Structures are given as C-alpha cells and as structure tokens.
Amino acid sequence: MKGLRRVSAVAITAGAVLTAGAFTASAQAATTATPTITAQGGYVMNNGTGKSLFTKAADTRRSTGSTTKIMTARVVLAQPNLNLDAKVTVQKAYSDYIVDNNWASSAKLIVGDKVTVRQLLYGLMLPSGCDAAYALADKFGTGSTRAARVKSFIGKMNTTAKSLGLTNTHFDSFDGIGHGANYSTPRDLTKLASSAMKYSTFRTVVKTKSTKQKVTTKSGGYRYMSWTNTNSLLGSYSGTIGVKTGSGPEAKYCLVFAATRDGKTVIGTVLASSSVDNRTADAKKLMNYGFTK
C-alpha cells in the first residue's frame, strides 16, 4: 500500500507540473498573440534594427491629418545653419488661417508677437498648431511672396520624402489640412518619425508633456504661452518618448508613437482609428506586442 501511495503521489505531482507548464505556455502565447486593432492601418518596427514587427495595411495610402507636422518639423531641423533662437514675427495671415479652416488646431499665436523657431516647434508639435506650421513654412520657404514661400516649403517636404524612400507619401499642405493629395502610409510615417527622432531637438520637443514659453510682444514686453501635448501616451504608457497625434474628417484618428524599455525602442503608426481613445489603445497594444518580439 505504501508503494502504491508513493506512485500515486509521484503521478499527481507530475500531472501538476505538466498542468503548470501548460498554463505558462498558454500565458506566454496570450502575451505574444498578434493584436487586433480598430485602426484601418498599422505598423510597428524595432527602431534600432528597422525590423518590421507588425503590419496591417501598412502600405495603403491614407490621409494623415496632423501627423503631417512630423515632416514640417523634419524639414525645418534639416535646414543648413539653422538658428533655433531666430525670431519670427507672428503675421495676421497665420491667425486668419485658423479662422478659415474649421479643423485647424491652434497654438494661439498672437499677431505681432516675436517667437523663436524653437518655440514654434513646440507650438507645432504639442498643441498641434496649424498657425505655428504656417509660420515655419513662411520662414523656411523661399520666394518673394508668402504663397511662393509656402509652396516652396511644401516642395521641400516632398523632396525630403523622396530622399527618405517614402514612395507612398505626398504632401500638399504644411499641416495636414490637405487639398486632396496629402497622404502617407503607416510604414512611411514610421520611417519618417524614425528619421526625425535622430534630431535631438525633435526628441526633446515630442517627449514634452507641457511647456510654458516666454515670448516678446509687439510693444516690446513679454507674455507666456502655455502648451500641452495632445499625445496622451506621455504619462500613461511607461517609456513613451513621442511622437504625434493627428485627426480630421478624412484621416479619422491617427497616432505616430514611440517608446523605449530596457534599451529597446519600438516605433509605429496607426491610421484611421475610430476615436481618440481607440487610437491610444491601438498604440498601446502594438507597443506591448513590439516589446515581446
């Protein structure tokens, strides 16, 4: 009888080990299962190696909304002999543009104020200011008229896209309020963001949750501009280092995102998600998945 009990005990113990092993395996499978996202397009890659980790309609062209502003910043930061402290006077045209476009988000720049290029980059990327985008296009385009300078700047955006090998990307605006020919793909936008993140100024700006900037007024005094980042991943997802939100009637809800954990950076894009909450949830799912690969 003693021998029987011992054999039974061994059998039970072995069964428990097998069962525990099965649970562990199923738990691991659950954490590495390919995620389902509500966004119509998605892409994630390892930023260090460039390896694709997730794709969903990754090369389908879609409207990009304000994720376009990643390229706006990228073009500015690539300018030769760039002086980030150069002053730009806010023109009435920039504020009129906000009034004329219902979907234009604003940095609430005030006509006559003098703001630095660096401050305009914060106004561009945190509150997603279309007025800041206009100011940068006007400043860094070439030509004798504002219209010519803006056209020139958008030309630089497209030239840069080609130089980065973004074959499914085209811009017809400096801010994403397109005119029928402003599009990219999850893969291209991710590659663009990866390129932009090589600039230390860009990295500093896009990981900032909020900022208070001192600007010079028309009369020579000063005021403070306060801007909060529209990217809710900052502070809600551990390791987030950027990058940019976007939305619009055609674009729906977009998000280019990046995070670093244990020395590994994953970077990606979701396009045409169904709500602000869903684009954030999509991004978190994709980063969680990316970190397991």
Q: Which residues are annotated as a binding site?
A: 244
What backbone torsions phi and psi does residue 52 show, to the nearest 5 degrees?
-70, 135
- The single residue of 128, 194, 247, 273 carrying the catalytic annotation is 128
C-alpha to C-alpha distance for 229 and 126, rounded to whole angstroms: 4
Which stretches does DSSP call E strand in 77-209?
A: 87-89, 114-116
Residue bearing tokens 């009369």: 219
Question: Which residues 6+ apart lie within 8 Å of 60 measured at CB?
Answer: 40, 41, 185
In sign, the C-alpha dihedral spanning 227, 230, 233, 235 is positive
**Contact indicator for 255, 65 with CB cutoff of 8 Å:** no
Active-site residue, 184 included:
no
Nearest 5°: the CA angle 140, 145, 150 is 45
Active-site residue, 226 included:
no
Active-site residue, 173 included:
no
In sign, the C-alpha dihedral spanning 58, 62, 65, 70 is positive
| DSSP type of residue 65 | G
| DSSP type of residue 68 | G
DSSP percent split of the chain into helix, strand, coil, nearest 5: 45, 20, 35
- The single residue of 69, 191, 252, 285 carrying the catalytic annotation is 69
Element (H, E) at 46: strand 41-46
- The single residue of 56, 63, 66, 194 carrying the catalytic annotation is 66
Binding residues for substrate: 244
- What is the secondary structure of 214-277 as a DSSP string? EEE-TTS-EEEEEEE-S-TTTTTSTTEEEEEEEEETTTEEEEEEEEEETTEEEEEEEEEESSHH
Active site amino acids:
66, 69, 128
